[in-house]
Amino acid sequence: MVSWLTLLTLAITLPIAFIIWGGSIAWIFYGFLVWISSVGIKIVLAWQGNLLLSKSGLLAKAITNGIISAVSELGLAALALIFIGTTNVDIPDIMLYAVSAGVTELLVISIYGMFEKREPETVKKWKISAKHCFLARNLFPIERMVALIGHIGSRGLVGIAIIKGYLWPITVALITFSTTDGLANYGVLKNWDWFNGTILKNFLLATGSLALIELVLLITIILFLS
């Protein structure tokens, strides 16, 4: 319950905080639109990639899907920012742009999860694991928290890199983003037991570390520019 309240609080307060900081409300719309568009592009490219790699190993497929995901989402975010124009765009705008995309994904996946029909066997496995595993019991809010941090960090790095001319953060964001999504895709392809405590701990530790790297680097750059 606490995790859900934390997510909801962040989804509401983060956009408000960056608007108060000076971000234009228009960037909420831009972030939403770019996320929706990039997911559509990613689905098409991933489908084509899987067709081309139908005879390849699982690792090759996972790496390819991770790269496709990063290029689709971060690439479109960068192109949209360039197209909109960087004149009079400052850090609060970029942060609002990044937060909007992350919150949009959080809300879309949360709503989808409410109406998703789950297999009885899957529900049974989760209940058994949830009795003794904190991570399994709170899997969705914890994973979504990590994803939200990752979206803010990676998109923030890309945006600030473009408006300030520090292009190297884009490379970092592409590497961390593609690694995160590639690892998740590899787990799906390998049919990992996502209710297994050890698997969950290792996966969330890895993806959480990557998200924190993005966020810490982003904060460091912002402080450096202040």
Q: What is the pLDDT of residue 150?
A: 97
Per-residue pLDDT band for 77 (boundaries 50, 70, 90) equals very high
Task: For residue 116, give the 3-state DSSP assignment.
Answer: coil
pLDDT tens readout for residues 15-55: 999 999 999 999 999 999 999 999 999 999 999 998 888 88
Is the pLDDT higher at 17 or at 1? 17
Q: How confident is the model at residue 180 (pLDDT cuts 50, 70, 90)?
A: very high
Closest CA to 156 of 169, 142, 143: 169
Q: In this predicted structure, what is the pLDDT of residue 1?
A: 54
pTM of the model: 0.93
User: Token digits for 59?
Assistant: 């690792």
Angle between helix 197-225 and helix 139-164 axes, rounded to 10 deg: 30
Q: How far apart are CA 47 and CA 60, in angstroms?
A: 14
Work out the average pLDDT over 108-137. Answer: 88
